[in-house]
Amino acid sequence: MKNRNMKSILFICLLLVITVLAACGNNNSQEENDNTENGSSERTLTDAIGNEVTVPAEPKSIIGSYLEDDLVALGVTPVAQWSIQEGNGVQDYLQEYLKEVPTIDSTLPYEAVSSFTPDLVLMSSASAVEGAKYDQYAKIAPTYVVAKENNNDWRTRLQTIGEVVGKKEEAEKVLSDYNQKAEEAKTKIQESIKDESAAAIWLVSNQLFIVGENVSSGAVLYGDLGLKVPEVVKEISATATGNWSTISLEKLAQLDADHLFLINSDGEGAELLKDSLWSNIPAVKNGNIYEYGPDTSWLYSGPIANTQIIDDVVESLVK
């Protein structure tokens, strides 16, 4: 009888222990779920060059040099913004969002980066962290390389940054809104000018450059808005190594474009624009030239830059 009672007591105790352990386990699981839902837990992600980076769930102090367009589009204000010439040269088209944000040199000196005490550093490509640079930045804050190489796939870049900064859903919303805007603009443009062609050229330091077919503002003109690609643009794009390729005035005179977008960094007094060859370019002769300054977004790429380019194109072509 005594043994039977003892076994009963032990069995009850064992049940109590199991119940307590299960409850603890459930509480721990619930805490983990709560942490995840509240965004209080860190996440470990693998960046473009294979580094495992532990980032805050909701980083608050981000440096993303030359990635400010994506960050601002996601509702994130970085603690510093890209600049050249000791802060005099910035991305002008973003200043309505970044005018109060201090500048940091485009070379990202370690001392300057450290002075902003970031909790996350975003690097646009592997070339930005060549040699021992990555390890040095990683000592300051978690450092995530967004892309292996410099590229113009801004959509993927935006999605990647959205995931890293905890704004994945916001990134998808930005893309959806942009695609809808581009499609609506495309319809308006085609109704206005049918299948006419266009090109974008950049005048700087008395030299001319033409944008490639699938990069920068070219990707907006031809890919998003469906404008016809001139043969000269196709020819130059086939061997291009950058977003903008040099083009001589003589070659430009052969440009078979019905419409011409000019980004003029030399201003009204540019000597090249007084040349007779320039005056005889068909689009110029027909008055189908639309001029923009270097403070506009035509030299950049991103959701905000490209949205502004769409607005410019619609304003120019839709009558």
pLDDT higher than 90, residue 232: yes
Q: Give the residue carrying structure tokens 């991305």.
A: 91
Assigned domain for 4 exists: no
pLDDT of residue 277: 94
Kindly state whether residues 165 and 194 are assigned to the same domain: no
pLDDT digits (tens, 9 = 90+) for 10-49: 333 333 333 333 444 444 333 334 344 444 589 999 999 9
pLDDT digits (tens, 9 = 90+) for 139-159: 999 999 999 988 779 999 999
Kindly state whether residues 197 and 159 are assigned to the same domain: no
pLDDT digits (tens, 9 = 90+) for 179-206: 999 999 999 999 999 999 999 999 999 9
Q: Tell me how far apart the alpha carbons of residues 127 and 189 are, in angstroms, rounded to a whole number.
A: 39
Residue pair 165/43 in contact (Cβ under 8 Å)? The answer is no
Q: Tell me how far apart the alpha carbons of residues 64 and 81 are, in angstroms, rounded to a whole number.
A: 8
Residue pair 311/104 in contact (Cβ under 8 Å)? The answer is no
Say which CATH number the domain at 290 has: 3.40.50.1980
Dihedral sign, CA of 187, 190, 192, 197?
Answer: positive
Q: Which domain holds residue 305?
A: 190-317
pLDDT of residue 6: 40
Structure token digits, residue 99: 């005018």
CA distances from 78 to 63, 75, 90, 99, 118 (A): 6, 10, 14, 12, 9
Dihedral sign, CA of 98, 102, 105, 110?
Answer: negative
Write down the pTM of the prediction.
Answer: 0.86
Kindly state whether residues 225 and 292 are assigned to the same domain: yes
Assigned domain for 270 exists: yes
Assigned domain for 94 exists: yes
pLDDT of residue 8: 40
Kindly state whether residues 77 and 154 are assigned to the same domain: yes
Kindly state whether residues 62 and 139 are assigned to the same domain: yes
Mean pLDDT in residue range 56-63: 95
Kindly state whether residues 162 and 199 are assigned to the same domain: no
Q: Which residues, other chains included, contact 186 with Cβ-Cβ below 8 Å and sequence gap of 6+?
A: 224, 225, 226
pLDDT digits (tens, 9 = 90+) for 263-307: 999 998 899 999 999 999 999 999 999 999 999 999 999 999 999
Kindly state whether residues 194 and 311 are assigned to the same domain: yes
Q: How many domains does the chain have?
A: 2
